[in-house]
């Protein structure tokens, strides 16, 4: 099953290595990782998308992450109300004749063209991963010269609907 | 637990190395195990200046230093402290770091590093020790600024010795240790990401108590977590209150008296039949401080298949990792047992069960053949047990001799058994004995080693010579890598590929060249002549004891088999 797990970490050198090394050592399959600073100085947030077999594996993943000294909090937010976004940049082969056609394709996705050359345009799209996937598939027939994705970053919405039971693996509460 | 915070102000002109030495003194470090080299020269100079502040032990290989520190930590209950230089000095420590990680041994390891300016340039004697040790340490640091050194040292000791103990590496670039620093230094620390849960959840303790009252076939499994927590007394009270059968893991030997009537002995691959059958048939398994290692459980399908499992562990990640757990208790073993002992003692209904498994002890004891004159290793270990009255510190490597020591030496007290459990490190036993002896100079310290393992670290005989440490090295010499040989016999159709070692040094002459008395023993009579005297005197000794090569460790759970499928059980 695919899970979205966030980890709040101390922004120290080697932390990313520590965390990815841990996941690799314990055979967790990482689909994507994104890392960036947070509102608090010295504190960063990592968002992982991981594929785990079952709940026990997931529990092991969060517990092992929590054991790291530089990890402050781990949350599996998959089942919560979340805002999750990914950014992708796609360089598509396009001569001036079909530029408008591409413009038409990307519009419903609220993507934008951020660079134009004689042979290509670069499209920027943000959104959930499946939306990004969908746009890439639509652009693929034109010929993709280059593609870069950031991986998912996410947090919980300000308001959480009342659900009987959330799965929570945080040990710090 | 809140991290202790204090402010120390220092004003005099000092180098980073001086700050390190001061920080070690503040931690009450008594014994250091280390080996000098280029990148730690400033540190060794500071140690020279601080002469008398602590005892520095110089091994002849860094691996010797770190295993000695492990032995020291195991017996003293304090952190073992190690210094190694950059590059090869640091990489030579890696086996010991991994060993300490697997067995939860508190170590603080200082490695030298090339100067900050050349880190990453493949400089002379540079290795990425942070990268190398990240997966095998509880935590590691590379000191970036001189003023953070005292704080980092304090944090390192705190992390190594609290919660689930483990090794912490502090990598110190040479310019940090050599630079003069004149300002005030603050060593206050705060580790919000590290707050081990020490006290159990009362609700879970009640659940365990209820389960105990209901159980018809309860059994206690005691692991080294009990020893680390200093909870042996509490365990005894708990077990005796309810008259529960107790089995221990390899590393848990001594957590409960092995010669006690409630003790079933060690469980696992080479555990006793009664211990393994108790684990197989129980309806309530109370695991205190064991991580359900695969050498203990055998095939998971057949491990305590009908039991409700309660697991007390300070490391939440161990609970449910291998065995589904119905009653998880994240806690220090001592706190959990104290809280259990605070509950009213109720009578249990497990008399029939107690009788049945006690009868197993009588019906299916450990056994071995007994030739007329030749020595079988089991008998040898029995004799060591008799002559030391079960009071010695016993250290071992990994392999057959380790299992025989575990089976035939009954530890009644904690911290007397020093062995490489999780990593299974050859060459561990002898240097570990050096550290163990230094931690307790009054104890009789016997390093039970194989002829294979001893040859991996025997250069540490120099330390015995230098210090006149009265460590007794008992080589269980079967001229083979015994456990490898046994597995080849059983599972590889007797194809003894590279496991028979015909060519050996003359261990007696070898010992004598280090001015350590050596004895070659080939018959039972010779052993009976030599062993009692050697164990009693205050000299070191090397006893090369020739034992039957073909002897195997039994009983045994073959790989992939369950607890109830032991082979080599004799009635």
Taking the CA atoms of A74, A77, A82 and A86 in sequence, report the sign of the dihedral they define: positive
B571 pLDDT more than 80: no
B10 pLDDT exceeds 60? Answer: no
pLDDT of residue B12: 58
Cross-sheet strand order for the sheet of B284-288: B263-266, B246-248, B218-222, B284-288, B308-313, B327-330
User: How many angstroms separate the CA of residue A146 from the nearest CA in chain B?
Assistant: 31
Give B193→chain A minimum CA distance, Å. Answer: 4
pLDDT per residue over B58-100, tens digit each? 999 999 999 999 999 999 999 999 999 999 999 999 999 999 9
* Residues B504, B451: Cα–Cα separation, whole Å: 8
**Which pLDDT tens digit goes with each residue over B232-243?**
999 999 999 999
Coil/strand/helix, residue B122: coil
Percentage of chain B lying above the pLDDT 90 cut = 95
Query: Is it the case that residue A164 has pLDDT exceeding 60?
Result: no
SS3 B433: helix
* Chain A residues inside the 8 Å CB shell of B131: 17
Residue A146 three-state SS: strand
Give tens-digit pLDDT for B314-346. 999 999 999 999 999 999 999 999 999 999 999
pLDDT at A166 over 60: no
pLDDT at B181: 85
Q: Is the pLDDT reported for residue A160 higher than 90? A: no
Please answer whether residues B447 and B430 qualify as being in contact, where contact means their C-beta atoms are separated by less than 8 angstroms. Answer: yes
Domain B14-181 class, CATH top level: alpha beta
Q: What is the tens place of the pLDDT at every residue in B375-399?
A: 999 999 999 999 999 999 999 999 9
- B193/A60 touch (CB, cutoff 8 Å), yes or no: no
Q: How close, in Å, is residue B559 to chain A by CA atoms?
A: 22
Q: Verify whether the Cβ–Cβ distance B193 to A72 is below 8 Å.
A: yes
User: What does the mean pLDDT of chain B come to?
Assistant: 96
| Helix ranges restricted to H, B104-247 | 129-133, 149-161, 174-178, 202-214, 224-228, 232-242
How far is residue B89's CA from residue B127's CA, in Å, rounded to a whole number? 10
Contact call for residues B186 and B151 (beta carbons, < 8 A): yes
Q: Best interface-test mutation with B: which of A63, A65, A173 has the largest number of B CBs within 10 A? A: A63
Query: Smallest Cβ distance to A59: which of B138, B194, B320?
Result: B320
* Nearest C-alpha neighbor of B451 from the set B374, B515, B543, B517: B543
- Spacing of C-alpha B132 from chain mean position: 22
Contact call for B134 and A64, based on CB within 8 A: no
Q: Kindly write down the DSSP assignment for every residue of B489-531, as one continuous string.
A: HHHSTT--TT-B------HHHHHHHTT--EEEE-SHHHHHHHH
Confidence of residue B6 (pLDDT cuts 50, 70, 90): very low
- Give the model's pLDDT for residue B186: 83
Query: CA B298, CA B311: separation in Å to the nearest integer?
Result: 18
Predicted confidence at residue B508, as pLDDT, reads 98
pTM of the model: 0.94
Which residues on neighbouring strands pair with residue A120, listed in sequence order? A93
Q: What pLDDT sits at residue B504?
A: 94
Buried b / exposed e along A23-59 (16+ C-beta atoms within 10 A): beeeebeeebbbbeeeeeeeebbbbbbbebeeeebbb
Instruction: Tell me how far the alpha carbon of residue B96 is from its chain's centroid.
Output: 11
Contact A69 B197 (CB under 8 A): no
Query: Is A43 in CB contact (< 8 Å) with chain B?
Result: no
Q: How far apart are the CA of B318 and the nearest CA of chain A, in angstroms? A: 8
Asked if B23 and B35 touch (Cβ cutoff 8 Å), the reply is: no
Q: Does B320 touch chain A (CB under 8 A)?
A: yes
Mean pLDDT computed over every residue of chain A: 91
Count the neighbouring beta carbons within 10 Å of the beta carbon of residue B28. 10
Instruction: Spell out the domains of chain A, with CATH numbers in brackets.
Output: 2-81+157-172 (3.30.70.260), 84-149 (3.30.70.1150)
Task: Say if the Cβ atoms of A60 and B321 lie within 8 Å.
Answer: yes
List, in sequence order, every residue forming a beta bridge with A91; answer none if it has no partner: A122, A146
* Res. A14: pLDDT tops 90: no
Measured distance CA(B73)–CA(A112) in Å, rounded: 62
In contact, B87 and B125? CB cutoff 8 Å = yes
CB of A59 less than 8 A from some CB of B: yes
Q: Active site includes B460? A: no
Catalytic site includes residue B54: no
Interchain contact, A59 vs B159, CB within 8 Å: no
**Structure confidence by residue, pLDDT tens digits, B180-194:** 987 778 889 999 999
Nearest CA in chain B to A22: B135
Q: CB atoms < 10 A from the CB of B551, how many?
A: 23
Instruction: Compute the distance between CA of residue B548 and CA of residue B523 in angstroms, rounded to an integer.
Output: 11
pLDDT above 70 (res B11):
no
How far apart CA B378 and CA B553 sit, in angstroms, is 9
Q: Average pLDDT for residues B39-65, to the nearest whole number?
A: 97
Tens of pLDDT, residues B441-472:
999 999 999 999 999 999 999 999 999 999 99
Mean of pLDDT values over A134-155: 95
| A161 confidence band (pLDDT: 50, 70, 90) | confident
Q: What percent of chain B has pLDDT over 70?
A: 98
pLDDT recorded at residue B368? 95
pLDDT at A167: 54
CB pairs under 8 A between A and B: 44
The predicted pLDDT at position A172 comes to: 46
With 50 as the cut, is the pLDDT of residue A173 above it?
no
What is the spatial distance between Cα B269 and Cα B266, in angstroms, rounded to a whole number? 9
B370 close to B383: Cβ distance less than 8 angstroms: no
A14 touches chain B (CB under 8 A): yes
Given this structure, which CATH class describes domain B377-553? alpha beta
> Do residues B477 and B508 make contact, with C-beta atoms less than 8 angstroms apart?
no
* Whole-angstrom distance, CA of residue B424 vs CA of residue B433: 16
Interface of B with A in 470-489 (CB under 8 A): none
* Interval A12-18 mean pLDDT: 90
- The answer to whether residue B481 scores a pLDDT higher than 90 is yes
The rounded distance, in Å, linking the Cα atoms of B425 and B70 is 12
Q: Do B317 and A63 touch (CB under 8 A)?
A: yes
CATH homologous superfamily, domain B202-363: TPP-binding domain (3.40.50.1220)
Instruction: Considering only the beta carbons, identify the residue of A9, A67, A71 that sits closest to B317.
Output: A67
Cβ atoms within 10 Å, residue B436: 31
pLDDT of residue A163: 59
Catalytic residue among B22, B27, B62, B472: B62
Helix, strand or coil, per DSSP, at residue B386: helix
Is B370 catalytic? The answer is no
Query: For a pLDDT cut of 90, what percent of chain A falls above it?
Result: 87
Nearest Cα residue to B500 out of B522, B485, B486, B488: B485
Half-sphere exposure of A155 (CA within 13 A, CB side): 13
pLDDT for residue A159: 87
Tell if the CB–CB gap between B324 and A56 is shorter than 8 Å: yes
The stretch B195-210 carries a mean pLDDT of: 97
| Residue in the structure block whose two tokens are 């990240």 | B134
The full DSSP string for B275-296 is: HHHHHHH-SEEEEES----HHH
Tens digit of each residue's pLDDT (9 = 90 or more) over A88-104: 999 999 999 999 999 99
Which chain B residues contact residue A13 at CB under 8 A?
A: 142, 144
The verdict on a CB contact (< 8 Å) between A63 and B192 is no
Least confident of A164-173, B172-181, B416-425: A164-173
How far is B308 from B288, CA to CA, in rounded Å? Answer: 14
* Contact yes or no for B317 and A68 at CB 8 A: no
ipTM of the complex: 0.90
Interface touch B191/A69, C-beta < 8 Å: yes
Q: Which of A13, A21, A69 sits opposite B193 (nearest CB)?
A: A69
Could you count the other beta carbons within 10 Å of the beta carbon of residue A83?
12
DSSP 8-state assignment for residue A159: S
Residue B174 predicted with pLDDT over 80? yes
Render B455-484 in DSSP notation, one character per residue. HHHGGGHHHHHHHT---EEEEEE-SB-HHH
Tokens of B419: 């062995």
For testing the chain A interface, which of B148, B173, B193 should be mutated: the one with the most A CBs within 10 Å? B193
Q: Which of B125, B465, B479, B526 is catalytic?
A: B125
> Given A18, A60, A63, which is nearest B134 (Cβ)?
A18
Please answer whether residues B222 and B289 qualify as being in contact, where contact means their C-beta atoms are separated by less than 8 angstroms.
Answer: yes
Closest to B81 (Cα-Cα) out of B45, B51, B54: B54
Please list every residue in chain B whose beta carbon sits closer than 8 Å to the beta carbon of residue A67.
315-317
Domain boundaries, chain B: 14-181, 202-363, 377-553
Q: What does the alpha-carbon distance between residue B568 and residue B571 come to, in Å, rounded to a whole number?
A: 10
Q: CA-based angle B413:B416:B419, to the nearest 5?
A: 130
Q: Assess whether the region B14-181 and the region B377-553 belong to the same CATH fold.
A: yes
């Amino acid at each position: 099953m695919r899970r979205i797990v966030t980890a709040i970490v101390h922004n120290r050198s080697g932390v990313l290595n520590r965390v990815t090394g841990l996941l690799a050592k314990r055979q967790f399959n990482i689909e994507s990782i994104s890392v960036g600073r947070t509102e608090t100085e010295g504190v960063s947030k990592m968002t992982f998308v991981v594929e785990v077999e079952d709940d026990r594996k997931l529990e092991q993943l969060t517990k092992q992450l929590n054991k790291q000294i530089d990890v402050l909090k781990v949350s599996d937010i998959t089942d919560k109300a979340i805002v999750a976004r990914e950014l992708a940049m796609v360089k598509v082969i396009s001569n001036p004749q079909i530029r408008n056609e591409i413009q038409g394709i990307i519009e419903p996705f609220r993507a934008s063209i951020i660079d134009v050359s004689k042979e290509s345009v670069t499209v920027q799209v943000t959104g959930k991963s499946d939306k990004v996937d969908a746009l890439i598939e639509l652009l693929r027939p034109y010929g993709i010269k280059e593609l870069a994705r950031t991986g998912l970053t996410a947090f919980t919405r300000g308001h959480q609907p009342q659900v009987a039971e959330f799965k929570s693996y945080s040990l710090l509460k | 637990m809140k991290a202790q915070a204090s402010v120390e102000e220092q004003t005099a002109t000092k180098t980073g190395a001086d700050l390190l030495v001061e920080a070690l003194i503040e931690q009450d470090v008594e014994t250091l195990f280390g080996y000098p080299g280029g990148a730690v020269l400033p540190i060794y100079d500071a140690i020279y200046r601080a002469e008398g502040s602590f005892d520095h032990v110089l091994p002849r290989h860094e691996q010797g230093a770190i295993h000695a520190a492990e032995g020291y930590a195991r017996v003293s209950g304090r952190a073992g402290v190690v210094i190694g230089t950059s590059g090869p000095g640091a990489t030579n420590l890696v086996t010991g770091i991994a060993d300490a990680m697997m067995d939860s041994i508190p170590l603080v390891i200082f490695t030298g590093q090339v100067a900050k300016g050349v880190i990453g340039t493949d400089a002379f004697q540079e290795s990425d020790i942070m990268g190398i040790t990240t997966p095998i340490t509880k935590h590691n640091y590379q000191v970036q600024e001189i003023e953070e050194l005292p704080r980092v040292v304090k944090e390192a000791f705190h992390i190594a010795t609290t919660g689930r103990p483990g090794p912490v590496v502090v990598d110190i670039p040479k310019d940090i240790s050599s630079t003069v620093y004149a300002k005030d230094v603050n060593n206050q620390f705060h580790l919000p990401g590290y707050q081990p849960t020490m006290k159990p959840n009362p609700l879970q303790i009640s659940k365990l108590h209820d389960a105990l009252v209901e159980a018809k076939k309860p059994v206690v499994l005691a692991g080294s977590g009990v020893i680390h927590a200093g909870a042996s007394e509490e365990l005894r009270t708990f077990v005796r209150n309810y008259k529960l059968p107790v089995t221990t893991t390899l590393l848990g030997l001594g957590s409960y008296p092995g010669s006690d009537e409630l003790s079933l002995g060690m469980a696992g691959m080479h555990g006793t039949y009664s211990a393994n059958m108790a684990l197989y048939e129980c309806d309530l398994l109370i695991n205190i401080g064991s991580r359900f290692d695969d050498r203990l459980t055998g095939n998971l399908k057949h491990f305590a298949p009908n039991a409700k499992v309660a697991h007390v562990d300070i490391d939440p990640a161990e609970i449910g990792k291998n065995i589904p757990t119905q009653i998880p208790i994240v806690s220090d073993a001592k706190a959990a047992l104290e809280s259990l002992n605070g509950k009213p003692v109720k009578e249990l209904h497990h008399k029939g069960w107690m009788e049945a498994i006690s009868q197993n002890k009588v019906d299916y004891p450990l056994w071995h053949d007994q030739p007329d004159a030749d020595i079988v290793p089991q008998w040898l270990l029995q004799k060591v047990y008799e002559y030391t009255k079960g009071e010695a510190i016993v250290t071992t490597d990994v392999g057959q001799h380790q299992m025989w020591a575990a089976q035939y030496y009954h530890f009644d007290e904690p911290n007397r058994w020093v062995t490489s459990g999780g990593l299974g490190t050859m060459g561990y036993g002898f240097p570990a004995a050096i550290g163990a002896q230094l931690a307790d100079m009054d104890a009789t310290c016997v390093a039970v080693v194989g002829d294979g393992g001893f040859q991996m670290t025997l250069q540490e005989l120099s330390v015995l010579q230098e210090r006149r440490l009265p460590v007794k090295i008992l080589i269980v010499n079967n001229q083979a890598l015994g456990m490898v040989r046994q597995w080849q016999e059983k599972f590889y159709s007797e194809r003894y590929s590279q496991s028979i070692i015909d060519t050996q040094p003359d261990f007696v002459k070898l010992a004598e060249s280090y001015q350590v008395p050596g004895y070659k023993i080939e018959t039972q009579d010779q052993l009976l002549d030599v062993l009692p005297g050697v164990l009693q005197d205050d000299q070191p000794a090397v006893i090369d004891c020739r034992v039957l090569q073909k002897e195997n460790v039994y009983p045994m759970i073959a790989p992939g088999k369950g607890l109830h499928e032991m082979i080599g059980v004799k009635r």
